[in-house]
Amino acid sequence: MFGMMMQSQLTLTGIMRHAQSNFPNSEIVSVTADNPQHRYTYRDAFTRAAQLANALQKLGAQPGDRIGTLAWNDYRHFELYYATSCSGLVCHTINPRLFPEQIAYIVSHAEDRWLFIDPMFVPLLEALAEQLPGVKGYVVLTDSAHMPDTSLPNAICYETLLESEPTEFAWPELDEQTAAALCYTSGTTGNPKGVLYSHRAMVLHTYGVLMPDVFALQGDEAVLPVVPMFHVNAWSIPYAVPAVGAKLVFPGPKMGCGETLSNLMQREGVTIAAGVPTVWLALLKHLRETNETIPSLNRVVVGGSACPWSIMQEFEEKHGVYTHHAWGMTEMSPLGTYNARIPATVPADEAKALRLKQGRAAFGVEMRIVNDQGQPLPHDGTAFGALQVRGPWVCERYYRAEESALTADGWFDTGDVATIDPQGYLGITDRTKDVIKSGGEWISSIELENFAMTLPGVAEAAVIGVAHEKWAERPLLILVAAPGAQLDPQAVLAAFKGKVASWWIPDDCIVVEELPHTATGKISKKDLRQQFADYQWPEEATA
């Protein structure tokens, strides 16, 4: 017997309508390339989204067409999100930090019809345009006063495009399974793969993100996504914030700049911000150097890589800001787990251990760990294996792939290695390809990096497995010193004694000027492994 309730479709258009009806005066504040302080309301944003939807129709966009964006976080990108998805087009956000060949591959693979680009990416696209015959034209996200001279074919100024369009658009009643957005993984191995999000998945994910033990957003808050809108839809913040009517604060091209972030947070009364660990390192450094404070800020969400304890500690002790550790991935929209506030009654050591973990599954996500044979392992906090997930916002197959991306029994293999404890806490120990296999046993590079980051004078730490005659692989620790600090590699290695199992202690430590990072701001282990391909262990370590 079926239930007898309405078959309302879960679409992003529903979020837009809700925000229009209930929070027309909520603000969106942006830093853009052409305006350091743009400010308007949801009413303005959705009116302009309607104008843009009309313009896209005039440009000949057909339902399902992919519209590419190469843009930072600002109000025009927000308008694009809604104008495309809610009119039945697919918003394809592209990471401009990728190598040009990867961008050309992604645009061609997605068959993008139009590209909407920030002015600073005009030269990049001019160099690629010949390789992109399927792109009908380029819309530069600026006004006529700032429109650059360009050789791009069919270059249009965004504000000119919108100018004479009607402010109403007949938004279609979409099926909730309609594709809304497309995002490619960074392709740390092989070609990037496209994840095609449906309206239904995005709406359910939005509910997941908003839950009290997740982002817990409220209407009177101001939210700063420091995670780019080309990185898994800025972790869904552009959908979740309008759903509750809070203020949205966009940092534009200045995301990695501690000073810009601090100024924005202070000026706009930001209460919650989200981003990868590197942006918080930049912000904390700025705050340390200037003695500035951000009284309005009460929590930050950190994900994308393991969050070092030093970040959590500094935020909390110096600024009274709670750090929530989250885990997810492009294929999961991205929310997988979230570390909710640990009650103050939990003893400090226990709380620290829990907070370094990635948190519990958000309602909607199921997780299991399996061994090499695909058999489930116990959730005892000790056994570790390949982490697999399932749920309504998890990718079933990659864009244009013939085959399902799932295991025979319907789970998605995340490529991460993890433990799950009896209370459901996930501990990511590594990516499958980064785990160090020493004498048949596994060593977690993340755990070693976490410890290294607690040592004075360490700014960044990475551990990779390097071939070893006797043990197959052994851990090599690579560090960047904090400005002005001197690191003694032997003293660093000695500090590991008694803190981790003796056979986990890295066999050597090297201090470098900088570590390679990926296009999403993570340490690139792949590049590091290449960099140290010819590394030779010191004599005593080969014993």
Nearer Cβ to ligand ADP (71/311): 311
Instruction: Kindly indicate which of the ranges 201-209, 283-291, 394-402, 413-421 contains the residues binding ligand ADP, using the contact rule CB under 6 A.
Output: 413-421
Closest CA to 72 of 300, 255, 236: 255
* Residue 303 near ligand ADP by CB under 6 A: yes
Closest CA to 153 of 139, 174, 141, 169: 139
Instruction: Kindly indicate which of the ranges 136-144, 325-333, 459-467, 468-476 contains the residues binding ligand ADP, using the contact rule CB under 6 A.
Output: 325-333
Report d(CA 210, CA 343) in Å as an integer: 20
Report d(CA 50, CA 80) in Å as an integer: 10
Return the HEC string of 212-231.
CCCCCCCCCCEEEECCCCCC
- Asked if residue 466 lies in contact with residue 498, where contact means CB atoms within 8 angstroms, the answer is no
Q: Is 185 a catalytic residue?
A: yes
Single-letter amino acid code for the residue at 333 = S
- Alpha-carbon torsion (245, 247, 253, 258), positive or negative: negative
* Residue 431 near ligand ADP by CB under 6 A: yes
* Residue 428 near ligand ADP by CB under 6 A: yes
Instruction: Kindly indicate which of the ranges 169-177, 252-260, 320-328, 435-443 contains the residues binding ligand ADP, using the contact rule CB under 6 A.
Output: 320-328
CB of 400 to ligand ADP, least distance (A): 18
* Residue 247 burial class via C-beta count within 10 angstroms: exposed 0-12, middle 13-18, buried 19 and up: buried
Task: Using CB under 6 A, pick the residue from 69, 263, 414, 419 that binds ligand ADP.
Answer: 414
Report d(CA 248, CA 221) in Å as an integer: 9
CB of 428 to ligand ADP, least distance (A): 4
Query: Choosing from 176, 268, 314, 331, which is the catalytic residue?
Result: 331
Report d(CA 69, CA 185) in Å as an integer: 15
Instruction: Kindly indicate which of the ranges 105-113, 114-122, 183-191, 345-353 contains the residues binding ligand ADP, using the contact rule CB under 6 A.
Output: 183-191
Task: Using CB under 6 A, pick the residue from 24, 415, 457, 489 that binds ligand ADP.
Answer: 415
Query: Choosing from 69, 84, 178, 185, which is the catalytic residue?
Result: 185
Nearer Cβ to ligand ADP (11/305): 305
Task: Using CB under 6 A, pick the residue from 185, 233, 438, 444 that binds ligand ADP.
Answer: 185
- Asked if residue 194 lies in contact with residue 109, where contact means CB atoms within 8 angstroms, the answer is yes
Closest CA to 73 of 220, 238, 218: 238
Nearer Cβ to ligand ADP (268/416): 416
CB of 306 to ligand ADP, least distance (A): 4
Query: Choosing from 111, 316, 366, 437, which is the catalytic residue?
Result: 437
Query: Choosing from 442, 454, 473, 537, which is the catalytic residue?
Result: 442
Residues binding ligand ADP: number (CB under 6 A): 20
Report d(CA 405, CA 385) in Å as an integer: 19
Instruction: Kindly indicate which of the ranges 57-65, 74-82, 243-251, 300-308 contains the residues binding ligand ADP, using the contact rule CB under 6 A.
Output: 300-308
Residues facing residue 299 across a β-bridge: 272, 322
CB of 328 to ligand ADP, least distance (A): 6
In degrees and rounded to multiples of 5, residue 60 shows phi and psi of 95, 10
Task: Using CB under 6 A, pick the residue from 198, 271, 438, 520 that binds ligand ADP.
Answer: 520
CB of 411 to ligand ADP, least distance (A): 15
Q: Pick out residues in 351-390 that bind ligand ADP (CB under 6 A).
A: 358
Dihedral, 258, 264, 269, 272 alpha carbons, nearest 10: -50
Task: Using CB under 6 A, pick the residue from 50, 201, 306, 492 that binds ligand ADP.
Answer: 306
* Residue 329 near ligand ADP by CB under 6 A: yes
Instruction: Kindly indicate which of the ranges 202-210, 215-223, 410-418, 470-478 contains the residues binding ligand ADP, using the contact rule CB under 6 A.
Output: 410-418
CB of 130 to ligand ADP, least distance (A): 28
- Alpha-carbon torsion (353, 288, 305, 321), positive or negative: positive
The DSSP element (H or E) to which 109 belongs, if any, is helix 100-110
Nearer Cβ to ligand ADP (338/504): 338
Q: Is 442 a catalytic residue?
A: yes
> Which residues are CB-contacts of 310 (< 8 A; sequence separation ≥ 6)?
453, 454
Q: What is the largest CA-CA distance in the chain?
A: 76
* Residue 327 near ligand ADP by CB under 6 A: yes
Which residue is associated with the tokens 């990779």?
Answer: 464
Nearer Cβ to ligand ADP (74/447): 447
Provide the binding-site residues for ligand ADP, judged by CB under 6 A: 185-186, 188, 303-306, 325-327, 329-330, 358, 414-416, 428, 431, 520, 522
Q: Which residues are catalytic?
A: 185, 331, 437, 442
